[in-house]
């Protein structure tokens, strides 16, 4: 994986200033910023295809918007169990507080039991949230490459991508996290409006990192290692 390339490839495009400015403005506007996510998916697909200049022109905003919107919808679907766990945790915590305030021995016992269950549900919520945070980038890659909404939920394909590139996948997540921190710090120096532009750059770093992984997976699938005789 070429980490340095993922940070700097944007600036190799002769029209990078215009493309990043448009991306930053689009990313700045709520709802419209779904189109920035759609653009990110296009870049990822081009990197996976090993195109030398993967930044496309800003065309077909409607298609970009829909693609980005579907990423958000898929994330919300994956988040449904998390929302349920959080809701149950909040309910159990409230009931536990009510039982404790009763001031009776039976109320205290019930409050303790409810508190234990609330802790367990909260723990499950944290674990599930972390797993989804790790899973969604791979699901997004699958969608970017295949283009249909169902690709978000083809668990076997997604797991095959993650398990087959586990080391690189972890590196990509860490590097993207670093790029996001840089984007926030630099954008903050530009009166915070700049975070829309630096954040868009971080999205393009994500696209290149995971596009590299996808390209490597395709190459490995097309050229499986020969069996030793």
pLDDT value of residue 195? 85
Cβ 186 vs Cβ 196: under 8 Å: no
pLDDT at position 216, please?
Answer: 83
Neighbouring C-beta atoms of residue 8, cutoff 10 Å:
12
Q: Is the residue at 159 inside a domain?
A: yes
Q: Is residue 229 part of a domain?
A: no
The reported pLDDT for the residue numbered 226 is 47
Confidence at residue 227, expressed as pLDDT on a 0 to 100 scale:
44
Domain count, the chain: 1
Q: What is the largest CA-CA distance in the chain?
A: 76
Residue 129's contacts (CB-CB under 8 Å, 6 or more residues apart) are 82
d(CA 115, CA 221): 50
pTM (2 d.p.): 0.86
Identify whether 78 is part of a domain.
yes
Distance CA 172, CA 101 (A): 49
User: Could you say which residues of the chain have pLDDT below 70?
Assistant: 99-108, 191-193, 218-229
Residue 130 lies in a domain: yes
227 part of a folded domain: no
Find, among 51, 62, 11, the residue nearest to 214 by Cα: 51
Interacting residues of 169 by C-beta distance below 8 A, sequence separation 6+: 137, 138, 161, 162, 213
Tally Cβ neighbours within 10 Å of residue 74. Answer: 19
Residue 84 in domain:
yes
- What pLDDT was estimated at residue 229? 43
Domain assignment of residue 228, yes or no: no
Task: Label residue 192 exposed, middle or buried (CB < 10 Å: 0-12, 13-18, 19+).
Answer: exposed
Q: Which two tokens stand for residue 42?
A: 């296009």
Q: What is the pLDDT of residue 191?
A: 67
> 10 to each of 18, 36, 202, 204, how far by Cα in Å?
11, 15, 10, 8
Q: Which domain holds residue 208?
A: 3-222
Question: Smallest Cα–Cα separation from 21: which of 178, 197, 223, 216?
Answer: 197
Residue with tokens 């926030």: 184
């Amino acid at each position: 994986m070429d980490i340095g390339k993922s940070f700097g490839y944007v600036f190799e495009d002769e029209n990078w200033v215009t493309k990043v400015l448009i991306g930053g403005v689009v990313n700045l506007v709520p709802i419209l910023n779904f189109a920035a996510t759609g653009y990110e998916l296009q870049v990822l697909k081009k990197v996976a295809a090993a195109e030398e200049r993967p930044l496309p022109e800003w065309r077909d905003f409607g298609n970009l918007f829909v693609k980005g919107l579907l990423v958000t919808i898929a994330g919300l679907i994956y988040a449904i169990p998390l929302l349920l766990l959080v809701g149950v945790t909040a309910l159990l915590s409230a009931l536990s507080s009510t039982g404790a305030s009763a001031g009776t021995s039976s109320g205290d016992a019930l409050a303790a039991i409810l508190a234990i269950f609330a802790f367990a549900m909260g723990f499950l919520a944290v674990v599930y949230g972390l797993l989804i945070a790790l899973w969604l980038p791979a699901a997004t890659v699958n969608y970017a490459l295949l283009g249909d909404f169902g690709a978000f939920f083809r668990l076997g394909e997604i797991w095959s991508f993650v398990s087959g590139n586990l080391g690189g996948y972890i590196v990509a997540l860490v590097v993207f996290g670093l790029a996001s921190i840089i984007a926030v710090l630099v954008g903050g120096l530009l009166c915070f409006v700049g975070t829309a532009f630096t954040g868009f750059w971080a999205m393009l770093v994500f696209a290149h990192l995971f596009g590299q992984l996808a390209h490597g997976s395709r190459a490995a699938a097309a050229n499986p290692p020969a069996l030793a005789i």
